[in-house]
Amino acid sequence: MKKHIAPSIILTLLILLMFPISSYADGDGDGNIDHGGGGMGSGSGQYFWNTHDEGVRVTIVRDDDRTPVTTPVDFTNRTPSRTLMHFGKVSKLQYRNGINLTPNTAVYNYIQPEKELPFIIKSDRGQASIEEIKNYFTDELVVRYIAEVTAFDYDTLINGSYKLLLEPIAYITFNGVKMAMTAHEAALYDQVLNGGLRSKMVSLSHQNLPLAMFLETPDLGFPAWDGSTSDRVSNDQIITSLGLGIVRFKEAPTTPPPSQTHYQYRTDTDVITSIRLSTSVQITPKDPARVTFSLMGSSYTVTNIVIPEGESQLVWIKWRTPSTPQTVTVSVQSSQGSVSQNSITASIVDLSQNPPPDPKVTDRRPSFQLPSIHAYSTKTTASWGIWSARWHEYWVWIPNWQWVGDGKGGGYWVDYGYWKDNGWWDYDWTGYTASLLAHQSVVPDSKSPSLSSNRMKSGYGLEINSFTTLSSNAPSSHITGAQHAVSYFPEFGYQAYWRLHDLKERGYNANFWLKPNEYSTYNSRVHFSPIWFPDGPYTPITRILDAWTPDGMLTLQLQDTITISGNLFSDWHIAPQKTK
């Protein structure tokens, strides 16, 4: 398996290996946690894990933008060596957002909680109870203790804007080296070692540790796990879906979360629809898999898919959505392995249907209060990859000894054997990444008597321009640049109405500007601030959409503030008409 890893990281890893060194609980929170796993012994020698050598990494996360707001802390009942090798205090969210796996030999810090943790990881000699795990992390005293050790205000933690991200940790001995790792870190580490961790400790690293916690419903951008709860899983499945639980502190919205098989696309847009193909037996170039996507009367087949035993990869198609709103069903079939979804429902929506109404000089909002800036979900990085395979020749002689008589009672033995290639398939993993960056400018309309580049009077127009950059090492068939930008405004609470942008420049460095305003005398690309808007900050926000990858859509939110000072009435001059 090949991955692009910084040389310094590889060197450090090699050195370390060579030289051993939604019902609610009675407490404060709602635990979105389930688990599975199977039997497992303790092991011996240079590679082993002992029952209950475990812990849980806890991170407080702001819900609206999915940002960790505290340094993760590791809780454990054990007393692990402070000189063990670890990967620092990094959460699954931070890895998803692009932080690399980095070995760390600094002192390992942990907390032994006042109230002992329940058993987390299943084994032959230790059965974990999901109800005990839920009850523990939703208990008020435990939540207060978490707030205390993370120096985070308890009342703020439980106000509904924050969640606890939980990740099971295993303390293991690998090649004689004592180590601590979460399930996500184990999967990343196994990729670096080309399957070396899985080959020695698969029952822990790729079964009981990742299946110790997973989500019952999607949350924080992670999907619910609907796969097996007892079989071994792949690195990709761990990275995307396993080894985590979430605790929330206010009742979830009454609107149910979107189905894992439901997508939303914009009209007339290049999109990528992907599924995950998994296999319990190797898929080889001699008999590669084929996945067929059927939609809108057409079929698209992806061929020559190879995957090693027990692994998976994303399979996708790039297609263009229709120009009119509708619902599209995508059917998926595979010649081998199992697909994550057999049917996908995609809603095609038209963003141009809800522009703001005509602003009037007589409009008034005397009770208006400046709303808090809405934070839409973002995803600025993505990672995926493709398996390939090549034959590894291994010729062996197959003997076939036969006695050759001389007709006189004697004779000799002759080997009529032959050479046979008992080789095997070597699999390589080619990883790809993509990241989206953007910035925008908000300035007064060039035709308005602006006070400065960042100050204007209410009632006049403002221009919004957005600039994006998509960076990726993937072929163009894997990705698209950003294709849409939508701006929301404070006078509408950032929800009721929006303005769609036009693409000024397409591609991986896409630029956007507002569509022409139908209420502008000059057909300008502006948004008119309301005449009644109070003096002070005026902050429109812009969502950048539809930069697609096999790992989903990249999207981010931009905002820039302009200051309102006065209104356009102060520029009016009324005087008696002169008479001859």
> pLDDT tens-digit profile of 281-308?
999 999 999 999 999 999 999 999 999 9
- Confidence (pLDDT) at 348: 92
* Dihedral pair phi/psi, residue 222, rounded to 5°: -100, 140
- Confidence (pLDDT) at 29: 60
Straight-line distance from the first to the last Cα atom of the chain, in angstroms, rounded to the nearest whole number = 93
pLDDT at 170 over 50: yes
Residue 533 has a CB neighbour count (10 Å cut-off) of 20
What mean pLDDT is predicted for residues 168-196?
A: 94
Give CA 126 to chain center in angstroms.
Answer: 32
- Supply the DSSP string of 482-494, one letter for each residue: --EEEEE-GGGTT
CA distance 299 to 371: 47
CA distance 191 to 385: 12
pLDDT at 11 over 70: no
Is 281 within 8 Å of 335 (Cβ atoms)?
no
pLDDT band of 322, cuts 50, 70, 90: very high
CA distance 459 to 18: 70
Is 234 within 8 Å of 310 (Cβ atoms)?
yes
- Supply the DSSP string of 96-131, one letter for each residue: HTTPPP--B-SPPP-B--SSPPPP-S-BTTB---HH
Of residues 126 and 387, the one with the higher pLDDT is 387
CA distance 237 to 378: 21
- Supply the DSSP string of 406-467, one letter for each residue: -SSS-EEEEE--EEEE--EEEEEEEEEEEEEEEEEEEEE-TTS--SBTTEEEETSEEEEEEE
124: left (phi over 0), alpha (psi -120 to 50) or beta: alpha
> pLDDT tens-digit profile of 46-85?
899 998 899 999 999 998 788 899 999 999 999 998 889 9
Q: At a CB cut-off of 8 Å and minimum separation 6, what does 425 contact?
A: 282, 284, 285, 306, 308, 389, 390, 391, 392
- Confidence (pLDDT) at 117: 92
What percentage of the chain carries pLDDT values higher than 90? 61
| Stretch among 224-233, 319-328, 376-385 having the lowest mean pLDDT | 224-233
Q: Which of 362, 380, 389, 392 is nearest to 306 (CA)?
A: 389
Reported as half-sphere exposure (CB side, CA atoms, 13 A), residue 190 has a value of 25
- Confidence (pLDDT) at 213: 93
pTM of the complete model beyond 0.75: no
CA distance 219 to 10: 33
- Confidence (pLDDT) at 267: 95
Q: Which of 256, 226, 254 is nearest to 241 (CA)?
A: 226
Burial of 155-181, coded b for 16+ CB within 10 Å and e otherwise, reads eebbeeebbbbbbbbbbbbbbebbbbb
Of residues 283 and 256, the one with the higher pLDDT is 283
Burial of 299-323, coded b for 16+ CB within 10 Å and e otherwise, reads eeebeebbbbebbbbbbbbbbebee
Identity at 54, one-letter amino acid code: E
* Dihedral pair phi/psi, residue 397, rounded to 5°: -90, 125
pLDDT at 227 over 80: yes
pLDDT at 453 over 70: yes
pLDDT at 2 over 80: no
Q: Is 114 exposed, middle or buried (0-12, 13-18, 19+ CB in 10 A)?
A: exposed
pLDDT at 536 over 70: yes
What mean pLDDT is predicted for residues 173-182?
A: 94
- Confidence (pLDDT) at 513: 97
> pLDDT tens-digit profile of 465-480?
999 999 999 999 999 9
Is 161 within 8 Å of 62 (Cβ atoms)?
yes
Strands 562-567 and 455-458: parallel
Measuring CA to CA, how many Å separate 244 from each of 57, 92, 138, 575?
Answer: 9, 8, 15, 71
pLDDT band of 218, cuts 50, 70, 90: confident
Q: Which residues pair with 214 in a beta bridge?
A: 34, 242
What mean pLDDT is predicted for residues 184-188?
A: 95
Q: At a CB cut-off of 8 Å and minimum separation 6, what does 453 contact?
A: 443, 444
pLDDT at 270 over 70: yes
pLDDT at 229 over 90: no
- Confidence (pLDDT) at 580: 55
CA distance 40 to 25: 31
* Dihedral pair phi/psi, residue 148, rounded to 5°: -65, -50
Q: Which of 205, 180, 166, 193 is nearest to 88 (CA)?
A: 180
pLDDT, mean over the chain:
86
What mean pLDDT is predicted for residues 535-556?
A: 95
Say what the alpha-carbon torsion angle 41, 43, 48, 50 is, to the nearest 10 degrees.
Answer: 50
CA distance 89 to 259: 32
